[in-house]
Amino acid sequence: MQRLETELEGIVSSLDEGFSTIFIGGGNPGCLTYTQLASLLSLAQSKGRSAECTIEMNPETFDRSLFPLFEHSLVTRVSMGIQSMDDKVLSTLGRNARKEDNLRAIALAKEARQTYGIELSFDLMLCLPGQSLEMAIADIDLIMSLADPSHISLYCLTVEEGTELSEKVSAGELPVLDEDGQEAFLWGVWDHLKGLGFRHYEVSNFARNDRLCKHNLTYWNLDSYLGLGSSAVSALRDGVALQHFSQNQALFAYSQGIPFTGYGTEDLTQSEHLEEFLMMALRTDTGIDKALFFERFSLTFDNKFSSVIDSLDPSWYVSSEQSFSLTEVGFMVLDEVVIRFAMAVL
């Protein structure tokens, strides 16, 4: 905590104005006290309040002691990792929270929204062992009825090799959906959210009433952002030049280390920058702004990628004079599309 504050103070002191957005996460900030969080957030916004400040929360650690963060406008948005409302599924995932914890946290989040006007976002996981499409839709409907959030993030299960979950899947103890099963599952959930008035603005993110996550748009637009703390990453862009920074120290080493040490640097080539731009922009429903593409890379998008576009199924994309974006059908084959574009960059 002390090192993080020292680094943050050094950065803030060099700024002429405050951060446009702030995101406290990448773990469970709820393990910090209100005093610790308030200290960090007050320092981060000492040069001006951010237009959006999001804090991630696990249900089991979210309580009313954090409400002063909202009362003093240090936090304007809560992103809560619910994952599932089924105890058996949560146990399979190895989550600490249970349905009872989720219900308590959702009720508190609703109270905070009604009292302080904060935005709410909930994370859910899909295609889980033992989870049906009907169960996933019921989870969404329950959360909507309890808290009426404006933002929902959906993530499919990734079975990491070497984990207990992976061993059970390999042994056949936990059945997982094949590609066709996952596709049918996703279409069912996507269509349900569309019926609830949500815009599918990024492959895994949905928003109502234009309540898009401003901070995440920075990532997807490949604009500059700063990350501090153990395992944090940053990206600084200056025209066509893009530089990555990564904090390579584990948590204990970081906490004991000298401020601003342990950060690695990588200068991306123009081809690497271009490839990353495509990979991020194609995740969004707005896709690639062709004028911005020319401004950044001095290349005409349609000329550079005409052969790639011709190779794509017309149902995968929408192309106009101003932009190129993927449809939801295209989102289903996002990896394939990105690979084709990336090969054309080389």
The pLDDT assigned to 96 comes to: 82
pLDDT, tens digit, 9 for 90 and up, residues 135-194: 999 999 999 999 999 999 999 987 777 777 777 777 777 778 888 999 999 999 999 999
Q: Is the pLDDT of residue 330 over 90?
A: yes
Biggest alpha carbon–alpha carbon distance for the chain: 58
pTM of the entire predicted model: 0.93
The pLDDT assigned to 308 comes to: 97
φ, ψ (nearest 5 deg) of residue 24: -100, 110
The CB density around residue 172, as the number of other CB atoms within 10 Å, is: 7
Rounded CA-CA distance 146/110 in Å is: 7
Average pLDDT over residues 70-79: 96
User: Please, what are the domains in the chain?
Assistant: 2-217 (3.80.30.20), 222-268 (no CATH), 270-346 (1.10.10.920)
The pLDDT > 90 percentage for the chain reads 81
CA neighbours closer than 13 Å in the CB half-sphere of residue 168: 13
DSSP of 117-128: --EEEEEEEES-
| 8 Å CB contact between 264 and 14 | no
The pLDDT assigned to 170 comes to: 75
The pLDDT assigned to 169 comes to: 73
pLDDT, tens digit, 9 for 90 and up, residues 297-307: 999 999 999 99
* Residues in CB range of 278: below 8 A, 6 or more apart: 288, 338, 341, 342, 345
Rounded CA-CA distance 183/25 in Å is: 30
Selected residue with higher pLDDT from 1 and 274: 274
| 8 Å CB contact between 125 and 156 | yes
Rounded CA-CA distance 293/302 in Å is: 10
The pLDDT assigned to 7 comes to: 94
Q: In whole numbers, what is the pLDDT of the chain averaged over residues?
A: 93
Rounded CA-CA distance 230/165 in Å is: 26
Q: For residue 84, what are the CA distances in angstroms to 7, 15, 81, 88, 125? A: 36, 41, 9, 9, 7
30 pLDDT band, cuts 50/70/90, is confident
